[in-house]
Each structure stands twice: as C-alpha cells, then as structure tokens.
A and B are shown apart, each in its own frame.
Chain A
Amino acid sequence: MLKRKVEDVFNEPGCATNQGKTDKQRKSGCAKPLTPGAAAGGCAFDGAKIALQPIADCIHIVHGPIACEGNGWDNRHAKSSNSQVFRTGVTTDMSDLDVIYGGEKKLYKAIKEAITRFDPPAVFVYQTCVPAMIGDDIVKVCEAATERLGKPVIPVNAPGFVGSKNLGNKLGGEALLEYVIGTEEPAETTPYDINILGDYNIAGELWQVEPLLKKLGIRVLGRITGDARYHDVTVAHRAKLSMMVCSQALINVARKLQERYGVPYFEGSFYGVSDTSMALRTIARMLVEQGADPELIDRTEALVISEEARCYARLAPYKQRLEGKRVLLYTGGHKSWSVISALQDIGVKVIGSSVRKSTDNDKGRAKELMGDDGMLYDAIPPREMYRMLKDREADMMLSGGRTQFIALKAKMPWLDMNQERHHAYAGYEGMVSLISEIDKALFNPIWEQVRTPAPWESICAPLKQREA
C-alpha cells in the first residue's frame, strides 16, 4: 500500500520533469539513489514531519524508538501565532520489548493519553523504520482510535527508509489529502480566499507577506502548513486558488486540490522584490478569473508600485556599501535564482550558485541572470568550497547550516539562507532584512581581527638587555 503511494507521488503529472519521461523512467521514480558514506540530508519521516508539524494546535506522535524524536525535537523555527502545542516532543519511545511484542497497543494507549492530556483537535501519528519493519499497522490503530476516541487521528506513513526528505514532504501531503482536507467547512467563504502551500512560516516569513494580502482584502483560508491550526487545513478545498510556494515539495497537494475540488494553482515565490510582486499580481489575476471584483487588479498594481518604491528606497543606502561585493550562493530550488536577482538589484555579484534541487526552469533563470560572471554548480565538494573562500574568490557565502563552518573556519562571513535560519527573508520586508543582514555580516569588525597574524608568526627584535 505504501509502495503504491510512493509510486503515485513519483508519478506527478504536474511536474515538468516527470512529463518529459518515458513510462519506464517514470515508474522508477525520481529519487536519486543515495550514496552510502557520502549522503547528506534527512529521511522520508523527517520530510513528512517538516511538512505537517507546523499545524500548531495538534499533537504529533512519533511512533518509534527514541532516536526519531529524542534526537530531533523542537529543532526548527516554524512559528505559530496561536497554539504552541506542536512544539511538544511526543513519542512512544519504543523499547526492545515493544520491538519483540509489537507496538500497536502502546501506540493506541499513547494516542488516548495524548488526547486526554492535551485535548487537541486532531492527532498526527508518524510511522518510523522500526515499527514499519516489525509490521505495526498504524493505519489500523489510527482508524480504531478515531472511531473510539472521537477525534481525527491521522496516520502519516513515511518511514525513513522509503526515501529522502523530499519524498517525505509529499507523503505528508498525501496524508492531508486523504484524511484532513475537505473534512470541515469554513464558516463563510469569500471570493478572496486563497491557500498557501509549502510555506512553513520559518522565522515568521508568512508574517512578512500576510499584511500585503490583508491590505488587498485577500484571506489566507488554507494554510499548508505555515502558521496553521487544524481547521485551517481542513477547509483548504474551499479556497479560490492555491499558491504553491516551495517549488515542488507539495505539488501533489496542489494538483489534487485542483482535480478534486477545482481549486487552480500556480507556483510562485515570495523571495525577492520582483517575485513578490509577480506573486501578488498572479493571485489578483487568478482571483478575478474566479469571480472576484476586477478592481482587485488595480488595487494590487497600486500596492505593488508603492511597496516596491518603499523597498528600493530602504535598500538604496546599502547599494553604495555593497556594490561590487562577491557572493557565493549555496542553496537550492527557486531560491537559487530569486536571491540572485535580489542581490543583483543592489549591485552584489553572485560568483557562483548551486542549483541542487532546482528544476530546469530554475536553472535556466539562474544562468540567464548571472550571465558569464557566475558559475552554476550542482554540488561543490566541501574542500573546494573552503578553497574558494580561503582564496577570497568570494567575499561571503550564503548557504545552509551544514556548510556554515566551511565559511567560518576559512575566516569568511556567512549568512544562513536555510530552514534553521532565525531571520525572515520573505516579501519586500524580507529583502530589506536580507540585505541588511548581508551588510551586517560583511562589515563586522571581527574579520580584520581574526585574519591578523598571531604574535608568534612575526619575528621581532629581542628586547635589549638592561644594563646592570
């Protein structure tokens, strides 16, 4: 059953890469085989949990031994404006006896205890490798719990060994489609209701964008799953359109919302000025196509013009300081080009960008933006990355936490562009934050100091002996 589901999410008609494949290629899926001893990144369970845990008022039970939750709980910066219950680390903490006798009864008791204790609107149960291997049927347990305990208990069947984090994102999305979306109705609907898919409100990025939408009278009805409560997910089928934010992570949810409920979708980004504007314009245009008052387009245009002007005015002071600085960008997906365009706006040169996890379209746009000045990399080996920085081919690196210390140990400035970041970089506000963070990092006085030679590296004349 899980196998069918994995095949199903791999066979994604909404994905351009997949459309270009033969039947046989399609069947073998799109996951690159992982290389033992040279792999990096999370497992499918990790991906599923990343996609669903931001549903803030729910309890998320990890069914497995301690590693899966104990080593990783409360480790992301997905923000919630209301309940903080989702940050609670909850696991069945399977012992050797549970492995021998099976963990289904323990899981049922755990669900029951969680409901009594926290009274959440719903419980999510995550399968992991060990219970999957011993045959614990979490779907059956969740069914029984839903029936007897009177609350939705949702199985998320994505044990780590089935694949990568990205696959896990999609399997998490499947659980929402199967058990959550469409199970409740909104109190009212308006022609201005939208879904945002694939944004997890890391460091509060949604909050940089929502004021813009609010100003236009647009309501985020369905949140999948940034700053969501359970109810915000159940009613997503009543929105007028979906904006799919994080490239391909939840494309299956976007497409199935369209197929099942007629909710059209588009792929957009809130990184960079031009992208933010384009996203707002697209939302307005599509809402009007769905029956909203056409004056929305004019209002959107006016907002975009005034916000862009305000943003550029705030960026202007940085331009002089940052003009000509060279940056190595090591991120992926749509960020690879949307950030390039943002940096170029203020005169920063991108000498290289990785295009891991990026679509062909992403790569094309990145290449076009950088011209002959920059290189596109699939992956840069750490040693080479260290050399580029040490040799000062770049003035700074923007990347994720994994590569942070390559830059820092080369005594070069670094800025976090990834999931663990503490700063929000979305929308017009986010661009101003990003540029001011780059400025802050580049001009910190420590760089001069840490690069000065140690006292013993320079020879100095010995002190003259005092005469007796």
Chain B
Amino acid sequence: MAEVIHPRKSLSINPLKMSQPLGGAMAFMGIEGCMPLLHGSQGCTAFGLVLLVRHFREAIPFQTTAMNEITTILGGVENLEQACLNIYKRTNCKVIGVCTTGLTETRGEDLKGDLKLIRQRHPELAGVEIVYVTTPDFAAALEQGWGKAVTAMVEQIVQPALGATEGQINILAGSHLTPGDIEEVRDLVEAFGLTPIVLPDLAGSLDGHVPDQYMGTTYGGTTVEDIRAMGRSDYTIAIGQQMRYAAAALEAKAGVPFEVLDRLTGLNAVDQFVQILQKVSGRSAPAKIRRQRSQLLDAMLDGHFYFGNTPVAVAAEPDLLFALTAWLAEMGAKVVTAITSMDSPILSQVPADQVIVGDMDDLERGAAEKGARLLMTHSHGRMSAEKLDVPLFRVGFPMFDRLGAAHRRTVGYCGTRDLIFEVGNMLIEHSHEAAPDDWSLPEGEEANATATAH
C-alpha cells in the first residue's frame, strides 16, 4: 500500500533512529547472567548506557572494549581479549554478547577469528558463551541490530534437536515488545497449557524488580539452558518481521517450523495468534481469554467515536510503526504521516500513502502539513509536539520522561484494550470544544473568491 521514500538528505535533524549496536546490546540484556559488550570506543557504550538507564530506570550491565587511538590503528584483538577476561573475572557471567560498532567495522576487525584465538589462549573461558554479532553504526538501525543479535544467539547457542519436548514453543520477541508486552504474550501462551521459551526475555531482566542481592550482570532473562533447548520445541512464533531471520535460522539448525506474525496489536492480529495457539496446543481458548476478547470488542465499540477520521502522525521503527498504524487504521483513524528509521519488507503494508525513512523533522513537517491531531513516537518527539501544540503519545524506545516505560502494554487483547483507552483518553482530552465563531459565514472577499473559483 505505502510507497517507501528514502530522501537523500545530508542533514538529519532530531533523529528518530538509534544505532544497530545499541539494539544488539539490548537484545543481549534479555539473556540471564549476560554482559553485553560493545567493541568500540568507550563513548559507544556510554551513550547507550545513559539512554537505557533513563528508559528502564534500572542498573544496566553494559561494557566496552575501550578502543583507543593506538588499538584503532593496530587492531583490537587485545582489547577484546582483556575485556572478556575482565568481565569474566569481575562478574562471573554466563554469556558475553559482543557487538561491533562503526569504529571496529570501519577498521575491519575479524571478530570470529579473534574470538577463536581468545578461546585457544584462555581455556578458563570455556564455561562462558561468547556470542558475537556484526552491527556497524553506519547501517540500518536499532531494530536490525536486535534481530541480528537474536539470530546470532540462535546460530551460536541453540543445539540441534534430539527429539522434542511436548507443548514447548519458542517465542521470538521483537525489539518493539516491552517487558509488559512479553508478560502478556507469555500469559496468552500459558493459558493454552503450552510452555513458552521467550527469546530475548526482557520481562525477566528489565521489568523493574528488586533482587535480593547485587548482580554485576543481567538479573533474569532467557537462560542459556533454555536457549539450547529451543531446538526441541514444537513450534516457533516470531513476533515482527525483524525476527524472521532468527526463526529461519532456528528452523535450519533444529528443524523447528515457524510462523512470523507481523504484529500482536489489534483484534484480528491477536485472533490470528490465538488461532495458532489453538492449533499448536490442540485446545480451544479458555474462558479467561474469551472474556478478554469480549472486553476488547467493547473497548472498540466505546472508543471508535474518538478515533474515526482523526489524522495521526506516527514515527517508529518498522515493526512498531506497522503495529501502531495498522491498529489506528482499524479504529478508523487516518495515518497522515508515517516515518521510520530504516528499510524493512513490512513498510509497504503500512496503511498510509507513503512511509518516509527519516527523522523527527520529517514527522514535524508532515504532521503540520496534514494537520495531525496526535503524534505517536518516542520521547524525542516532545519538542515537535510542543512546537505543533499537538498531544504526544509516547511509545517505543526511548521513553525517558515518563514512568513505567517497561510496563506500557500494547499487545494481546488486554494490551490493545488498554491502548484504545489511553490513546482515546488523550483524544478526548484534546478534543475541540465548540466556540461561537466555529461556523461563521465566509467573509466578503473570501466568499467572492470561493465563488469565482467554483
């Protein structure tokens, strides 16, 4: 439906996009006992760390190989080696997730070879999974870094299957799912008597709980044992197109069949998910789920008045953009401006005339031109919203100026219902109240001009 536009710009103003290595590192944060490591200058990690802390309001384990001027010229293998050893010594971690950066990719580090060498030199690291992924800053965006990191976890940790564990299914969660979303998905899956392995599981690590002791690594998330066992599952459901490669890699490695769901927001999308769960489990939906669906129907009935024909401008990474815009369109709203961070096969399905791979400046211009009454994007949209005097519905990453980012839920029957209420309330709050001059007749000259024009 939508035409995808790649403006050739020299200047990005108020970026929407964040970098691939940050997405990769975030995915590693959903693994238990893990230390994500960026192979680059220490600033690469520092900027990401600050952003993650502001969003999740949690301690974030995140390290750097601290490349300097000399190692940038001579090569970073020693830095990588030292980093792995120091992390292992200090944190006793189970997984180190290495992501490259613009710096190491420009130099052309041989990560695979380097790690092989490090393994040979240090048998003490044998018990640690070191997963590596190439994520140059100068290509794609956060979403792709996430997808690549999960693919790397599958390729490097999952074991080829010897038999199957009945009722076990894999959920590959895209970067657009919050810990609250993952909890919702898990609840749905478990309602059918199935046992899900969610990869990566941010709900285990970054849902904002208070552990009883200090941990230097992630505290919670998918365990290495569970990742290894994913090859024994009956089925894989990948949420978001970004997870297609990981699902395909899992099938190639362990023969687990899969289905990619573009989204889990909106009645039809959740229905499709529930149908798969019925099929895999051989059970019909339990009463609780039926009730939730009915509640969603009611929310749609109550809410549609406020959504119908409302012009909305949305900026988000591809999979989240699709989930939000498809749902908005299903509620009767008009997606007048759609902005995203990178190319993706899903973009052509966005219910808008065009999707621009651009920045907040494009969002602001589009919203102004098309008279959008609502902006939906991450917290960096706040300046545009202020300038346009239009309400901003914060969604996605980062959300640093609101509480509870981890628990904002937009998937499942319940998540969609909540989303209708939250966005609907915002529209109600900012709806136009009738004023005496709203329906004044055209003035003299204007009226004449209109008459001549006709």
Q: At the interface, yes or no: B211 with Cβ under 8 Å from chain A?
A: yes
Select which of A33, A72, A163 is within 8 A of B47 by beta carbon. Answer: A72
Q: Residue on B with the closest CB to A132?
A: B72
Cα distance, A74 to B16, chains bound together (Å): 12
Cα distance, A412 to B2, chains bound together (Å): 52
Q: Residue on A with the closest CB to B41?
A: A160
Q: Which chain B residues numbered 7 to 38 have a C-beta less than 8 Å away from chain A?
A: 9-15, 17-19, 21-22, 37
Interface contact A38-B90, CB-CB below 8 Å:
yes
Q: At the interface, yes or no: A95 with Cβ under 8 Å from chain B?
A: yes
Cα distance, A148 to B138, chains bound together (Å): 29
Q: At the interface, yes or no: B216 with Cβ under 8 Å from chain A?
A: yes
Interface contact A129-B84, CB-CB below 8 Å:
no
Interface contact B66-A34, CB-CB below 8 Å:
yes
Q: Chain B 233-271 against A: per-residue CB contact (8 Å), 1 yes, 0 no?
A: 000000000000000000000000000000000000000
Q: Name which of A67, A68, A117, A405 has the most chain B CB atoms within 10 A of its CB.
A: A67
Q: Chain B 40-63 against A: per-residue CB contact (8 Å), 1 yes, 0 no?
A: 111111111111011001110001
- Residues of B near A450 (CB, < 8 A) are 210
Select which of A69, A109, A161 is within 8 A of B69 by beta carbon. Answer: A161
Q: Which chain A residues numbered 46 to 76 have a C-beta less than 8 Å away from chain B?
A: 46, 61, 64-75
Select which of B43, B59, B66, B87 is within 8 A of A45 by beta carbon. Answer: B43
Q: At the interface, yes or no: B171 with Cβ under 8 Å from chain A?
A: no
Contact A113-B63, Cβ < 8 Å, known A42-B46, A161-B41: no
Contact A89-B43, Cβ < 8 Å, known A37-B86, A37-B87: no
Q: Name which of A34, A41, A43, A134 has the most chain B CB atoms within 10 A of its CB.
A: A43
Select which of A73, A91, A129, A383 is within 8 A of B102 by beta carbon. Answer: A129
Contact A66-B19, Cβ < 8 Å, known A37-B82, A94-B138, A133-B72: yes
Q: Residue on A with the closest CB to B400?
A: A75
The smallest C-beta distance from B107 to any residue of chain A, in angstroms, reads: 7
Interface contact B11-A409, CB-CB below 8 Å:
no
Q: Chain A 376-414 against B: per-residue CB contact (8 Å), 1 yes, 0 no?
A: 000000110011000000000000011011100111000
Contact A134-B106, Cβ < 8 Å, known A39-B63, A42-B43, A68-B47: yes
Contact A65-B19, Cβ < 8 Å, known A36-B64, A73-B14, A93-B12: yes
- Residues of A near B211 (CB, < 8 A) are 409
Q: Name which of B41, B49, B64 has the most chain A CB atoms within 10 A of its CB.
A: B41
The smallest C-beta distance from A41 to any residue of chain B, in angstroms, reads: 6
Residues of A within 8 A of B (CB-CB), count: 70
Q: At the interface, yes or no: B295 with Cβ under 8 Å from chain A?
A: no
The smallest C-beta distance from A61 to any residue of chain B, in angstroms, reads: 7
Interface contact A68-B43, CB-CB below 8 Å:
yes
Cα distance, A438 to B63, chains bound together (Å): 31
Q: At the interface, yes or no: B277 with Cβ under 8 Å from chain A?
A: no
Contact A36-B17, Cβ < 8 Å, known A43-B43, A160-B41: no
Contact A92-B11, Cβ < 8 Å, known A45-B43, A87-B383, A133-B107: yes
Q: At the interface, yes or no: B198 with Cβ under 8 Å from chain A?
A: no
The smallest C-beta distance from B411 to any residue of chain A, in angstroms, reads: 26
Contact A99-B106, Cβ < 8 Å, known A87-B383, A130-B137, A411-B210: yes
Contact A386-B79, Cβ < 8 Å, known A68-B43, A73-B15: no
- Residues of B near A38 (CB, < 8 A) are 63, 86-87, 90
Q: At the interface, yes or no: A183 with Cβ under 8 Å from chain B?
A: no
Interface contact B50-A72, CB-CB below 8 Å:
yes
Interface contact B214-A383, CB-CB below 8 Å:
yes
Interface size class of B (residues with CB under 8 A): 35 or more
Cα distance, A163 to B101, chains bound together (Å): 17
Cα distance, A93 to B359, chains bound together (Å): 11
- Residues of B near A420 (CB, < 8 A) are 50, 54
Interface contact B47-A41, CB-CB below 8 Å:
no
Q: At the interface, yes or no: A35 with Cβ under 8 Å from chain B?
A: yes
The smallest C-beta distance from B440 to any residue of chain A, in angstroms, reads: 36
Q: At the interface, yes or no: B346 with Cβ under 8 Å from chain A?
A: no
Interface contact A382-B12, CB-CB below 8 Å:
no
Interface contact B90-A88, CB-CB below 8 Å:
no
Q: At the interface, yes or no: B407 with Cβ under 8 Å from chain A?
A: no
Q: At the interface, yes or no: B297 with Cβ under 8 Å from chain A?
A: no
The smallest C-beta distance from B358 to any residue of chain A, in angstroms, reads: 10
Across the A-B interface, how many residue pairs have beta carbons closer than 8 Å? 215
Q: Residue on A with the closest CB to B62?
A: A40
Contact A74-B41, Cβ < 8 Å, known A37-B82, A65-B138: no
- Residues of B near A410 (CB, < 8 A) are 214
The smallest C-beta distance from B60 to any residue of chain A, in angstroms, reads: 9
Interface contact B58-A405, CB-CB below 8 Å:
yes
Cα distance, A61 to B102, chains bound together (Å): 18
- Residues of A near B13 (CB, < 8 A) are 88-90, 117
Cα distance, A409 to B215, chains bound together (Å): 11
Cα distance, A324 to B3, chains bound together (Å): 67
Interface contact A36-B11, CB-CB below 8 Å:
no
Cα distance, A382 to B213, chains bound together (Å): 11
- Residues of A near B12 (CB, < 8 A) are 66, 69-70, 89-93
Q: At the interface, yes or no: B136 with Cβ under 8 Å from chain A?
A: yes
Q: Chain A 12-50 against B: per-residue CB contact (8 Å), 1 yes, 0 no?
A: 000000000000000000000111111111111110000
- Residues of A near B216 (CB, < 8 A) are 382-383
Interface contact A71-B18, CB-CB below 8 Å:
yes
Interface contact B47-A46, CB-CB below 8 Å:
yes
The smallest C-beta distance from B101 to any residue of chain A, in angstroms, reads: 7
The smallest C-beta distance from B34 to any residue of chain A, in angstroms, reads: 14
Q: Name which of A46, A114, A129 has the most chain B CB atoms within 10 A of its CB.
A: A129
Q: Which chain A residues numbered 109 to 164 have a C-beta less than 8 Å away from chain B?
A: 109-110, 113-114, 117, 129-130, 133-134, 159-164
Q: At the interface, yes or no: B80 with Cβ under 8 Å from chain A?
A: yes
Contact A42-B47, Cβ < 8 Å, known A66-B137, A161-B67: yes
Contact A130-B210, Cβ < 8 Å, known A41-B42, A66-B17: no
Q: At the interface, yes or no: A96 with Cβ under 8 Å from chain B?
A: yes
- Residues of A near B48 (CB, < 8 A) are 67, 71
The smallest C-beta distance from B340 to any residue of chain A, in angstroms, reads: 14
Interface pairs A-B: 5 shortest CB-CB: A43-B43, A37-B83, A37-B86, A67-B19, A160-B41
Footprint of A on B, CB under 8 Å? 9-15, 17-19, 21-22, 37, 40-51, 53-54, 57-59, 63-69, 72, 79-80, 82-87, 90, 101-103, 106-107, 136-139, 141, 210-211, 213-214, 216, 360, 380, 383, 400
CB<8 Å pairs between A and B, sample of 14: A34-B42, A35-B82, A36-B65, A38-B90, A66-B15, A66-B17, A92-B12, A130-B103, A130-B138, A160-B42, A161-B67, A161-B103, A162-B69, A405-B53
